[in-house]
Amino acid sequence: MIFQIPFWPIDSLSLLMAIIIGSIAFLVFIYSFAHIKFKFVYYYLALSITVLALFGTVFAKDLLTFYIFLEMMSAGTYFLIIHNGVETSFRAGYKYILCMLIGGLFVLTSGLLLYNYTGTFDLSIIKQVAPTLTSQQIAIFFSLFSIGCLIKIGAVPFHIWLPDAHPAAPSPISALLSGVTIKIGAYGIIRMLFILGLLSWNLSLITVGVASMLFGVILALLQTNLKKLLAYHSISQMGYILLGIGIGSEIGLAGGLFHVLNHAVFKALLFLCIGSIIYVTQKRELHDLGGLGKVMPITFITFTVGALAIAGIPPFNGFASKAMLSASVYNNLWLKLAIIFTAAGTFASFLKIFRFAFLGELPKTLKNIKDAPIFMLFPTIVLAGACLGIGIFSAPIISTLIAPAIKHIIIFDFWNMRTLIDTLLTVFLGTSIYILGLKTGFLKTEKEKQAPSFMNYLSLDRMCVSAAQFINRSFEELNRIHTRSLNTHLLWIFLTLVVLIAGLWFAWI
C-alpha cells in the first residue's frame, strides 16, 4: 500500500491545467478582498485549501493521490458554498457534498479495481501495462472512473447538484467552481484516455456531451435568476468539452482542451460580472433589474465581452474553440446541428440578459448605485482582456499550450468561409429564438409559481431528492419503532443466541 504523496514530473497537460487554476484562483482571491464581508478566516482558509487541492489533483502521479485531492477539494468547496450561512446554501451544500462523495467513491472504486488488475496506482506504470489488460477490465474501469468524473463535472444526467450549488455560493466561488473545479473531471477523463490509449470515437461520451449541451442551453433559456442561468450554461459548455473529448480526433481533443481554457476564462468573467451586479444591487432576479448599462459601464463592457465569447462570436476566444469543435464534427450532420442550436440558444439567452438587465429602464430603487469597487473590476478587466487576447492570438496559444498537451501538432485555419457562415447562422438563429421566445412567452423575466405538472415528476433532481428523502424517512421510522424497553432488548439477545446456535447447527449438518 502506498501512503506517500507522489507527483508527476509535470507534463504539458498538467501545466495547462495548473496555469488555468493558478490564474483564475489568483483573480478570485483579488475579487474576494472586496466581495467578502464576513467570516474572513473561515473563507480564506477554505479557499486556500481548495486551491491547494486543485493543484494537487492535476499534479497527482497516481490515482490514489488524485482521489485524495479530489476529496479535499470537495470538502473545501463545501465550506465555501455554505459561507453565506442561509438555508438555501445549506441545502445546496448538502446536495453538493453528497454528490461529490458519490463521485469520489466511483473514482476510488475504479482505482482500487485497477490496483487489483495491475498491482499499482502509479499512472506511468499503468500506462505501460495498459495493453496487457483485457478489454472487459478496461471497460469496467473506465466506465466507473468516467462516471465519477462526470458527477464532478455535473454533466447530464449527473447534473443535479450544479444548478443549486452555483447560485448558493458566493460569486467568486461560483466563478472558481465553474471556471476550475468542474474542469478537474474533464482533466481526469482526458488523462485517463491518454493513459489507456482509448482516443477514438466514444459514443457514450458524445451522447453525454450532446445531452448536456442541449439540456443545459434549453434550461438556461428558461431561467430568470442570473446565477442559475449561468449555472445551466456551465452544463451546456461542459457538454462541448465532452463532445470534443468523445470525438477523439486530434482536432476534437484540441478543441475540447482549448474550450477548457476558454470556458474557464469567460465563465469566470461572467460570474464575476454577475457577482458585481449582485453586490451592487443586492438583486439577482432579472425582473428586478434594468438599465444597468448606464450606471455600471465597466461591468457592462466586460460582461459584453464575456457574453460574446460564450456565444462564439469572433474575435473572442469562445469562437476559436467552437470553430475547432464544429470542424471536428463536420461530417456528422446531427452533431453539427446540435452545436449550432446550442450556440444560438446561448446567444438568445444572453440577448435576454442584455435587454432586461443592462438596457431598459433603471428601477427607482437602484437610482443611487455606482459601479463595483476597483478590486472587483480589476479581475473582470483582466479576464475580458484575456478573452480578446486568446481570441486574436489563438493560433500561437494552441501551438504553445494545447498542442504539447495532446502531443500533436495542430494547424487550424480559424478564418474561412465555413466559420463565418457558422457565426452568421448562430447570430441569425439566436436572434430569431429570442424574438420568437418573447412573442410566445417562452422567455420569461419573472419566475412564475408553477403548479406541479407531469414534467416536474420526470425531473431527475426531484427523483434523486425524493429517493434521499425516502431513505431519511424510512430511517426515522426505524428510529420511531426501535424499542427502548429493556425487556425486549434482553429478548433480542436471547433470540440472537438461539438463532446463532440453530443457524450454525444446521449449516454444519
Partner 1 sequence: MNHAPILIITIPLFGAFLTHLTKYTKIKRGAELVAFICLLLSLLLLLSMGSSILSGEKITYNLGGWRAPLGISLQVDGLSFFFAALTLGIGLAITTYSLGIYIFARRYYSLLLIALSGILGIVLTRDIFNLYVFFEIVAVASYVLISYKHKPRTIKASFKYLIMAESSWVLFLLAIAILYGLTGTLNMDSIAHQMPTIYQADPKIVIVIFSLMLVAFGIKCGMFPMHTWIPEAHSQAPTPVSGLLSGLILKAGLYAMLRIFFLFWGATLFMLSIETVLLYLGLATLLLGAGMALAQNEVKKLLAYSSINQIGFILVGIGIGTELGLTGALFHILNHSIIKTGLFFCAGIIVSQTGFWKISQLRGVSKAMLSMTIAFILLSLAVIGIPPFNGFVSKLLIITATIQTQKYWVAVILFFGILLSAAYYFKVIQSFFAKDEFVTNRDFTPRPVGRFEHVTVYVLVLACLVIGLFPDLLRNMVTLAAKVVLQ
Q: Which of 358, 311, 344 is nearest to 425 (CA)?
A: 344
- State yes or no: residue 467 binds partner 1 (CB under 8 A): no
Residue with cell string 462523495: 101
d(CA 151, CA 145): 10
Question: Closer CB to partner 1, residue 449 or residue 484?
Answer: 484
- Applying CB under 8 A, which part among 26-34, 203-211, 419-427, 499-507 lies near partner 1? 499-507
Question: Closer CB to partner 1, residue 116 or residue 124?
Answer: 116
Distances (CA, A) of 137 to 127, 142, 227, 402, 441: 14, 8, 41, 30, 51
Q: Give the Cβ contact number of residue 362 at 10 Å.
A: 15
- State yes or no: residue 274 binds partner 1 (CB under 8 A): no
Question: Closer CB to partner 1, residue 70 or residue 338?
Answer: 70
- Count, residues near partner 1 per rule CB under 8 A: 51
- State yes or no: residue 481 binds partner 1 (CB under 8 A): no
- State yes or no: residue 470 binds partner 1 (CB under 8 A): no
- State yes or no: residue 117 binds partner 1 (CB under 8 A): no
Indicate which single residue of 36, 58, 71, 309 sits in contact with partner 1 (rule: CB under 8 A).
71
Indicate which single residue of 19, 72, 359, 395 sits in contact with partner 1 (rule: CB under 8 A).
72
Q: Which three cell numbers stand for residue 2?
A: 502506498
Sort 152 into a burial class: Cβ within 10 Å, 0-12 / 13-18 / 19+.
Answer: buried
Q: Residue 279 in contact with residue 375, Cβ under 8 Å?
A: no
Residue with cell string 506504470: 125
Q: How far is the CB of 138 from partner 1 (least distance, A)?
A: 17
Query: Between 183-196 and 135-153, two packed helices, what is the crossing angle to 10 degrees?
Result: 170
Q: List binders of partner 1 among 161-180 (CB under 8 A).
A: none
Indicate which single residue of 20, 51, 54, 68 sits in contact with partner 1 (rule: CB under 8 A).
68
Residues 6+ apart with CB under 8 A from 132: none
- Tell me phi and psi for residue 7, to 5 degrees: -125, 155
- State yes or no: residue 55 binds partner 1 (CB under 8 A): no
Question: What single DSSP character describes residue 60?
Answer: B
- Applying CB under 8 A, which part among 160-168, 311-319, 444-452, 489-497 lies near partner 1? 489-497
- Applying CB under 8 A, which part among 104-112, 124-132, 178-186, 294-302 lies near partner 1? 104-112
Question: Closer CB to partner 1, residue 105 or residue 427?
Answer: 105
Biggest distance spanned by C-alpha atoms of the chain: 88
User: In sequence order, what DSSP letters do the residues of 476-507 get, joined into one string?
Assistant: HHHHHHS---HHHHHHHHHHHHHHHHHHHHHH
Q: List binders of partner 1 among 79-98 (CB under 8 A).
A: 82, 84-87, 90, 93-94, 97-98
d(CA 65, CA 351): 44
Q: How far is the CB of 493 from partner 1 (least distance, A)?
A: 6
Question: Closer CB to partner 1, residue 135 or residue 479?
Answer: 479
d(CA 165, CA 158): 13
- Applying CB under 8 A, which part among 105-113, 188-196, 231-239, 433-441 lies near partner 1? 105-113
Residues 6+ apart with CB under 8 A from 194: 13, 127
Chain residues that interact with partner 1, rule: CB under 8 A: 1, 3, 64, 67-68, 71-72, 75, 78, 82, 84-87, 90, 93-94, 97-98, 101-102, 105, 108-109, 112-113, 115-116, 472, 474-476, 478-479, 482, 484, 486, 489-490, 492-493, 495-497, 500-501, 503-505, 507-508
